[in-house]
Amino acid sequence: MHNETRSRAKAPRLPNKIIKMVTRENIEHIAKLARLDFSDEEYEKLTNDMNNVLGYIDQLKELDVSTVEPLENLNEAEEKNVFRKDESAPCLPVEEALKNAPKAADGYFLVPKVIEQV
């Protein structure tokens, strides 16, 4: 991989009138669910970034799109089917699928419970 510097245009700051929609507590909750840990600076940045994204969405709501035809399918313009045919093929044997699993039993992957830990 090349280590190259890319120049990015900085997103303009949103007006102060935008009400904060995402709190740090929201980000902390999402991070806990995803089992992620961030520094204080990263939590602050993520909170600001999420609010900026939601602010831009609010700005888009103000646009008049009454004369724009809705796009129901991105592939409408394509004349041909670009997807492969759905054909059955032999499955990976269970033993082969489980050979690198940290834990397995009775032909299944064993994973820790996470639902009750939230």
Nearest one of 25, 13, 17, 23 to 50, comparing CA atoms:
23
The torsion of the CA quartet 27, 30, 32, 34, rounded to 10 degrees, works out to -130
Q: Which of 12, 33, 28 is nearest to 117 (CA)?
A: 33
Q: How far apart are the C-alpha atoms of 10 and 27, rounded to whole Å?
A: 22
Mean of pLDDT values over 24-44: 95
d(CA 46, CA 54): 12
Provide the pLDDT for residue 16. Answer: 46
Give the separation between CA 40 and CA 43, rounded to whole angstroms. Answer: 5
3-state secondary structure (DSSP) of residue 28: helix
Check residue 77 and report its DSSP letter: T
- pTM for the whole thing? 0.47
What are the structure tokens assigned to 34, written together?
Answer: 């995803």
Q: Is the pLDDT of residue 84 over 70?
A: yes
Q: Look at residue 5 and tell me whether its pLDDT is greater than 60.
A: no
